[in-house]
Structure 1
């Protein structure tokens, strides 16, 4: 561990996240990992300039990127930083990407479009040690990366279940987990299994069920029709998802669920983009949960801190320990 360094942009939201990671490792494992700054500025024409003041020769670098940055800036910074680190003779480079951008276009849904997730993988993966991220939009994205560049996809659901049972245990009885669309059904089933496992561990019997919303789109970002498959009448409802973008899907789902007789409505999205503002979503739900993979300031959100999970993953990666054991 003596060769390990955490690296982040001090002027970004990743700095606070990195401090939390450093503090967690120090308090739990009694190891002080240096947190080093990468200085990022711009030329007059807005080209990015980077500099690391101290030597990183033969060091094992874990760079924590800021997921709230503009996606294009986020991508270019990764390319430039990797070049900087390898050119400065770093022994290894691990990218810690709380939200993996460009994950939503993982296949051709029509002719003459890029597979953006593959393009990202091709551009950033060479000469890396590994990538650590959370709740990929589709798990198969890991297949775009070479076999010798593992992508550790962390799961936020254990932390979400813990938060629910600590803060909202009274609303969990007979709760229905609703998938917001067909593509998210495996995610909803996985969340339901985590709930059922948690109640077995503390011998607290609660009944859960699952339902699905089938939606059709007229065009990208616009929902034409939504149908509920399942029963939510007189039951509390929880909708888990990986991304909250504009919130249109969640708002439409909330209206439908209320029409079908649902009582309280809760939702969670790991990566809270809220491109049209969190207020839009919050007015339809009794509470809205997200993680701090994206920095949030709106007081109406319940933000779950994922830095301990990333800290554990980084520590285990450095020590050569299993990361999958965190989710068993």
Structure 2
């Protein structure tokens, strides 16, 4: 066989295996369907004391293995990822790629207080030590996480999924509103792709998970507004932002976020806020009790499947965002 045929074509699902833990198996199954493949058979169980046990039930020797597992709480999701990567390495996989639809501990990316851990760096070290040769991540909370790994990292964005959805809505005179200064660059990107104008909210955060909106910079009166963010945790930021925009005369208000953590009072806050629609992705497997009438869930399965195809064929995934 010539060198040109040693690497499977990007259109072929042969030569790689898709593994999944229990954190988001529906997404892993959708990725496999998009690739025309089946999930590799894996046993994920618990001992009587709660200890995590994993076993790969197929031969993966020499295969290009992709382990799909978001690392949102609880901590067992991270443990499953580490054990699956380790099992794949010990089963003689040719290459192991950790596919992280959501990367936990990304907010702990610096030492901003005395005597605190840099959790993001610790998690990166653990993933590498387990045996990952590469990482595919989706919308890291902080882009500098790419530098925390000493293995190649492909950082994917869910923005094409959102922009396609909102283009189909045909919203007129749309304003994309950054919920805080840190989201300004992302919001400008949305505004450019949707031919919208841009506004920003000046926000103070007195303490963690508590947001206080100060004022809105930009014209929003009588216009539809879109508030994009990378994640919604307790929903304090977006709910207060929506109220501030409504008080200034905004028309319909939409919120979009890649990762729907929906912790604590999030569902109640979003349900009571003046938001027409909350649009998220399935990067996290959201339980039924955290869903509500104005929630719309978009799939990133096809996006991740394309990235896996390109990675398997040693092609750049950046073409997905050009």
Q: Answer yes or no: same fold by TM over 0.5.
A: yes
| Displacement after TM superposition at 1:95 (Å) | 0.8
Counterpart contact for 1:14–1:65, Cα < 8 Å: yes
Alignment of 1:130-145 (within 5 A): 130-145=134-149
Alignment-derived partner of residue 297 in structure 2:
303
- Describe the SS at the equivalent of 1:57: coil
| Displacement after TM superposition at 1:13 (Å) | 5.5
Say whether 1:188 aligns with 2:192.
Answer: no
- Relative to structure 1, is the Cα distance of residues 66 and 224 closer, same or farther in structure 2, using a 3 angstrom cutoff? closer
- Describe the SS at the equivalent of 1:119: helix
Distance in 2 between residues matched to 1:228 and 1:193, nearest whole Å: 20
Counterpart contact for 1:244–1:274, Cα < 8 Å: yes
**CA RMSD after TM alignment:** 1.6
Q: How many residues align?
A: 303
Q: Deviations over 1:112-145 (max 9, x none)?
A: 1111111111111244221111111111110111
- Relative to structure 1, is the Cα distance of residues 113 and 13 closer, same or farther in structure 2, using a 3 angstrom cutoff? closer
- Describe the SS at the equivalent of 1:99: coil
| Displacement after TM superposition at 1:254 (Å) | 1.1
| Displacement after TM superposition at 1:225 (Å) | 4.4
Q: Which runs of 4+ in 1 moved over 3 A?
A: none
- Describe the SS at the equivalent of 2:194: helix
Alignment-derived partner of residue 38 in structure 1:
42
271, 275, 278: which is aligned to 1:282? Answer: 271
| Displacement after TM superposition at 1:178 (Å) | 0.4
Distance in 2 between residues matched to 1:42 and 1:303, nearest whole Å: 30
| Displacement after TM superposition at 1:77 (Å) | 1.6
Say whether 1:254 aligns with 2:266.
Answer: no
Gaps of 5+ in 2: 1-7, 9-13
Counterpart contact for 1:63–1:96, Cα < 8 Å: yes
Alignment-derived partner of residue 4 in structure 2:
none
Alignment-derived partner of residue 5 in structure 1:
17
| Displacement after TM superposition at 1:274 (Å) | 0.9
Distance in 1 between residues matched to 2:318 and 2:262, nearest whole Å: 30
Gaps of 5+ in 1: 27-32, 197-207
Counterpart contact for 1:158–1:194, Cα < 8 Å: no
| Displacement after TM superposition at 1:54 (Å) | 2.1
Say whether 1:323 aligns with 2:317.
Answer: yes
Counterpart contact for 2:184–2:200, Cα < 8 Å: yes
| Displacement after TM superposition at 1:93 (Å) | 0.6
| Displacement after TM superposition at 1:226 (Å) | 2.2
Alignment-derived partner of residue 60 in structure 1:
64
